[in-house]
Amino acid sequence: MKPPQFYSGKSIRGTHVFVVNTNDTSATFNINFADVPGLHSRNVRVHDMWTSRELGTFSGSYNVTLAAHDTAALLVTQKV
């Protein structure tokens, strides 16, 4: 059985999304915002929690490329 592509959870700051690459090679993952529980809008701001960098505003989905066995930690907030 293949593990989930991402894990998510609500916080007072927004929705935390953790993307896990369990592959032995780098891979690009597409996070469709409609698939993330708790996101009521398709237009969101994405923040990289590892680097403390704002990644921008995205509509519908976000792509992240991860090295083998790497994890992305994202904070996703509704665009106002």
Q: What is the pLDDT of residues 29-74, one digit of tens each?
A: 999 998 888 887 778 999 999 999 999 999 999 999 999 999 999 9
* More confident site: 27 or 79: 27
The pLDDT value given to residue 37:
87
* More confident site: 8 or 40: 8
Residues 21-35 have a mean pLDDT of 92
For residue 35, give the nearest of 66, 6, 72, 68 by alpha carbon: 6
Helix (H, G, I), strand (E, B) or coil at 13: coil
The pLDDT value given to residue 57:
96
Distance from C-alpha of 35 to C-alpha of 61, rounded to nearest angstrom: 9
The tokens describing 64, both together, are 């992240």
Distance from C-alpha of 68 to C-alpha of 33, rounded to nearest angstrom: 23
The pLDDT value given to residue 41:
73
